[in-house]
Structure 1
Amino acid sequence: MPPALDDALITRNPATAEEVGRAAVTPPEAVAQVVERARAAQARWGETPWSERRALLDRWRRILSRDADAWADQIRAEIGKPAGEAAASDVIPTLDALRWAVVRGGAALADERIGPSWQRWLLTPTGRLRWKPLGVVGMIGTWNYPLFLNAVPIGQALAAGCGVVWKPSELAVATADLLQASLLEAGAPDGLVGLVHGRGDVGRALLESPIDKMVFTGSVETGRRALETAAARGVPAVVELSGFDPAVVLADAPLESTVRSILWSSFVGCGQTCVSVKRALVVGDPEPWVRAFAGAIRGLRVGDPAGPGVDVGPMITERARSGFDRTIREAVAAGAELVVGGRSIEGEGWFYAPTLLRSNSPEPEQALEGAFGPVLLVRGFSDVDSAVSAANASRMALGASVWGRDRRAARAVARRIVAGTVGVNEAVVPTASASAPFGGFKASGFGRTHGVLGLREFVAPQVLFERRAGGFRPQLFPYSDGGMVDRFLRVYRRLFHPRA
């Protein structure tokens, strides 16, 4: 059923408010039909040899690479990132992830022999582990990295032999339509990847449809509601929710280079990045760090990313900006000192001044938790243990970093931090790794994307055992002549399971 024509989603350039995209809303009652089409296509796709799946992914990757500059411009216009940043953080990581699937996906999905080892004595047969496609994946997409965070799980699902029905964010419909068109150009079978546009009611309709796996990227609150819907039907899920990433700055960290790195890690994407650094937890005197961060933040150029030399673009919507401003004010009311920024920038576009807060207690951190915008909070600690405790105090645990000259000492601290990804003298960049699994602990979600573990989220292990017909099978009925079996089991226990 085609989308309704009397309702539309409109996206606007967050720097100028000019219209960028327009998409007709899919009626919620039509979503199940899209899922059924995907299921029919997946029944065939799941039986195709790896070479055919690989060929589709490779064609898709090459099409995206051909249009890389256009993708960067599209993301700049719809999301508000500088085009160079969009290329580096959205386009290239997508191409890398798809290349990983093309080059290494076949090995990750190959059958594996499972030998009986010592259980050969029990006549246990040899097994063969196979990876079976789960079926149809229902995906709720996101807007802040509209290519990377959407195309990669779609590509992994296709590599695994699954079909996909996805609802992109209503804030990135133009990018979503381009992504869908690129898949069709690559030759994706009819119906295998279905796109439905809409708001929350369309997302609920998708999750209530007969899908076999859910993929969700978004806020903690919305993600938990999505999980409840999926759990009610016994549908497994991969969920990547918000972060509140700490950077533990050790006493020997070089000030200038560390400030530059954390500054970028905090304000890339206007701070609208799930793994952006929100807390600088300084071991020792925080004042030199506060002064250095304040000077660096004042030097950032905020503006329309269509212009030259812009470092930080706008927030995605006026609603997002207003909500972020309320969070900043709540953190100040909880005891944070406003050092730099803390205000909306008047004029055209939804700009917010990059903000630096200083805190001497945990209450401002608690108020700031979940903030999705351009802010960094600095707090000092007398020792490493206190800093680590503060880093782990958040209910969120997506990413973290530790900074210091002594990498062995920094590595030891990093191992104490609870987070899905922890960097030593690095933040944000590791999430683009095509090989490393990405995901969080605690309220930041579960399941993984990228690499072998991400690919295997879309398959189920099936073990095939076989042996020749007939043969010696002493375990069978009748049990009346069990003496031989009993004697054998006693010998087996003595050989492989000696008594304490």
Structure 2
Amino acid sequence: MVHDPGHAQLHDPETDPLATYVLEPDDVRTLLARVVSSPGAAHHTSYAPFTGAPIASVPLSTPADVERAAAAARAAQRRWATTPVRTRTAVLRRLHDLLLERQSDVLDLIQLETGKSRVSAFEEIGDIALVARHYAARAGRYLASRREPGLLPGLSSVRVHRRPLGVVGIIAPWNFPLTLTLGDVLPALVAGNAVILRPDPQTALTALWAAELLEDAGLPDGLLQVVVNDGRVLAPMLVDQVDHLSFTGSTAAGRVVAEQAGQALVPVTLELGGKNPLYVAPDVDVEVAARGAVRACFTGAGQICVSIERLYVHEDVAEEFLAAFVRHTRALRLGSGLDYRSDMGSLTSAAQLAKVVEHVEDAIGHGATVLTGAVHRSDLGPYFYEPTVLSDVPTEARVAHEETFGPVVVVHRVASDDEAVAAMNEGEFSLNASIWTRDARRGARLAARVRSGQVNVNEGYLASWAAVGAPQGGSGTAGMGARHGREGLAETTRLQTVAVQHGAHGVLGLPPVGLERLFALGTESWPRVFTQVLRVSKALRLP
């Protein structure tokens, strides 16, 4: 199941910093056995971005496999939906503790499959721990039924319930293989749903490890089914089998998924592309803002949907800020070690590298200036690329308006807050934005004018993302719906209103009361009586 000349050791112990990482074939086979697939299935070979060596041969699921997964999930979900919420939240609490205990193993896997630095990989550990703890503490409150006033106070009672939808499909990308799998799986499960998870074939092992962790935390069999194939292949299959579909990926792919789901009347949650802006106001502490902007632009080698690709700097501090920003960018340590000595890792694939190179070379061809970077660091590994800062980029350059999804940022000078806000609001990608200023009130006022799903003041993206009680989502072509918080949980539920009329049959020998009594007045009298009821209700300020 793995490239295994002996012990699946992918590296030369004398020269390779990853030589200590060993994939045991039996462990990999155990993980891959969780994929719902058929005998003789086609396979996808995943490769380690750090070295280019093969990692595993992942079985691919077929339409028949998706149907089998859906049938098993529905059978398990019927039992799970009747399980008390406290039992479901107990699974999340145990998962939180197991994740922290076993983080070293999954950090290695995340790095091996994505090529990101260990500190970037740890963001995924912290995120899932926060998400698990949040829903363990608040799911009961989020799912609780609520009372609403009835038409006739005292004679009718109304309760609104949240019911699980049934089976939730999740199509997850490769760039955050733990966060964008478990981060969506956990709220769906705690709401009483079953889940069919489609991880990207490149990062399937991390997702399968997460499925194993959930099982160890006490999740009943059958509730989480894992299918693997290209998202374009599986999306239409999942639409036919699920009651809700969550998709994270490009805007172009999201449009296709939304169209397929719309035809089937299946609700969707979409988190799509982001050409995200950051503004540096003239009153900043330049060193603080420069360090924060570097993190916002180059964490995860820029392969984060909420990372910054457009930088707007007020002309009053432009020279000083850009000098500091370039200096801190050049100081980033690139490397492939499974430790915390590197600040930035590798791009994940040849396709990502090709897009980055194409955008940078196209910008240079249009007259852009390279302030730093623009170098393919093949001496470090096949897909390493230096963090790159470009200026004087004309609007016709692709990097000016297309999402790069790599370690490239374009800087612009602006003369005022108004010019900065107008520039930030250009384009169709409105997922995340960042504003840096000493004046928090100024930052909040500017944030209210920015068209974006979330705005961070004096942070790049982590402050809003880590506030897991707050919804995260895009506007415009950056997506629809939300993850995190009450809203994220609500995405996987349906509302049901139950209204009970009391006294409709009479009690203790008394005649019926309530609406039945009203209708008994006859078609000429009851509208007149009800008109008086409405006037009295308004006078009493009844809701």
TM-score (norm. length: structure 2)? 0.86
The AA in structure 1 aligned to 2:519 is L
For residues 138-167 of structure 1, what are the alpha-carbon distances to aligned partners after superposition, in whole Å with 9 as ceiling and x for unaligned?
110111111111101101001000010011
Residues 359, 398 of structure 2: 8 Å contact kept: no
SS of the equivalent of 2:152 reads helix
**The residue matched to 2:306 in structure 1 has which SS?**
coil
Uncovered stretches (5+) of structure 2, i.e. residues with no partner: 1-35, 506-511
Answer yes or no: is the 8 Å Cα contact 1:278–1:376 preserved in 2. Answer: yes
What is the rounded CA distance, in whole Å, between the counterparts of 1:368 and 1:182 in structure 2? 40
Does residue 287 of the first structure (1) align with residue 306 of the second (2)? no
Distance 1:55 1:408 in 2: 41
Deviation at 1:491, TM superposition (A): 6.2
Q: Distance in 1 between matches of 2:72 and 2:478?
A: 32
1:101 equivalent in alignment to 2:135? yes
**Matched residue SS, 1:242:** coil
CA distance in 1, matches of 2:339, 2:189: 38
- The equivalent position to 2:538 in structure 1, one of 493, 496, 499, is 496
Q: What is the deviation of 1:339?
A: 1.8
**Displacement of 1:9:** 2.0
CA-to-partner distance for each residue in 1:32-87, whole Å, 9 max, x for gaps? 12111111111111111112212222232222222112111211111112223312
2:489 to 455, 478, 486: 455
Per-residue deviation, residues 302-322 of structure 1 (Å, max 9, x unmatched): 221336621111100111100
**Which residues in structure 2 correspond to 1:481-492 (within 5 Å)?**
482-483=524-525, 485-490=527-532, 492=534
- Counterpart position of 1:56: 91
- Equivalence map 1:232-381=2 (5 Å): 232-285=263-316, 286-306=318-338, 309-347=341-379, 348-359=381-392, 362-364=395-397, 367-381=400-414
Cα distance in 2 for partners of 1:411, 1:32 equals 49
Tell me which of 190, 193, 197 is aligned to 1:159: 190
The answer to whether structure 1 residue 190 and structure 2 residue 190 are counterparts is no
Q: 1:495 Cα shift? A: 6.0
> Shift of residue 260 of structure 1?
0.5
RMSD (Å), alpha carbons: 2.2
Q: 2:167 aligns with which of 118, 136, 146?
A: 136
AA aligned to 1:41 is: A
CA distance in 1, matches of 2:233, 2:393: 44
Matched AA of 1:95? A
1:412-431 residue pairs with structure 2 within 5 A?
412-430=445-463, 431=465
Amino acid paired to 2:116: K
Deviations 1:348-391 (A, max 9, x none): 32111110011365444763431100011110111111110110
Quick one: distance in 2 between partners of 1:410 and 1:361? 28
The AA in structure 1 aligned to 2:383 is: W
Identical columns (%) = 31
> Against the structure 1 CA distance between its residues 71 and 467, is the aligned structure 2 distance closer, same or farther, given a 3 Å change threshold?
same
Deviation of 1:258 (Å): 0.4
| Partner of residue 467, structure 2 | 433
| 3-state SS, counterpart of residue 448 of structure 1 | coil
Q: Please give the secondary structure, in 1, of the residue aligned with 2:342.
A: coil
Residues 139 and 488 of structure 1, relative CA distance in 2, 3 Å threshold: closer
Q: Is the 8 A contact 1:245 1:398 kept in 2?
A: yes
Match for 1:181 among 212, 223, 236? 212
Closer/same/farther in 2, CA of residues 404 and 196 from structure 1, 3 Å limit: same
Kept after mapping to 2: 8 A contact 1:5/1:25:
no
**Whole-angstrom distance in 2 between the partners of 1:4 and 1:65:** 36
Amino acid of the structure 2 residue aligned with 1:74: L
Q: Is the 8 A contact 1:20 1:174 kept in 2?
A: no
Deviation, 1:292, is 2.2
Residues 488 and 449 (structure 1), Cα distance of their counterparts in 2 relative to 1, 3 Å cut: closer
Partner secondary structure for residue 139 of structure 1: strand
- Deviation digits for residues 255-282 of structure 1 (CA, Å, limit 9, x no counterpart): 1110001001100000101111111111
Instruction: State the alpha-carbon separation in 1 of the partners of residues 346 and 180 from structure 2.
Output: 20
Deviates more, 1:64-73 or 1:264-273: 64-73
Task: Give 3-state SS (helix, strand or coil) of 2:328's partner.
Answer: helix
Cα deviations by residue, 1:94-127 (Å, 9 ceiling, x for unpaired): 01100111111111111111124xx537x87221
Residue type at the aligned position of 1:419? S
Query: Do the aligned partners of residues 387 and 2 (structure 1) sit closer, same or farther apart at CA in structure 2, a change above 3 Å counting?
Result: closer
Deviation at 1:454, TM superposition (A): 0.8
Work out whether 1:25 is the aligned partner of 2:67. Answer: no
- Following superposition, the deviation at residue 338 of structure 1 comes to 2.1
Choose which of 416, 420, 435 in structure 2 pairs with 1:387.
420
2:202 is the counterpart of 1:171: yes
The CA deviation at 1:245 is 1.2
Shift of 1:174: 1.2
Residues 369, 394 of structure 1: 8 Å contact kept: no
Partner amino acid, structure 2, of 1:83: R
Give how far 1:220 is off. Answer: 0.8
Tell me the number of residue pairs that the alignment of Structure 1 and Structure 2 aligns: 493
Instruction: Give TM-score, length-normalised by structure 1.
Output: 0.93
Give the drift of 1:474: 4.5
Q: Show the counterpart of 1:476.
A: 519
Other structure's SS at 1:376 match: strand
Judging changes above 3 Å, is the alpha-carbon distance between structure 1 residues 366 and 244 closer, same or farther for their aligned structure 2 residues? same
Specify every segment of 5 or more residues in structure 1 that has no aligned partner in the other structure, as ranges. none
Is this contact kept in 2: 1:166–1:196, CA < 8 A? yes
Query: Cα 1:484–1:356, aligned 2, differ >3 Å: closer, same or farther?
Result: closer
Q: Indicate conservation of the 8 Å contact 2:117/2:340, yes or no.
A: no
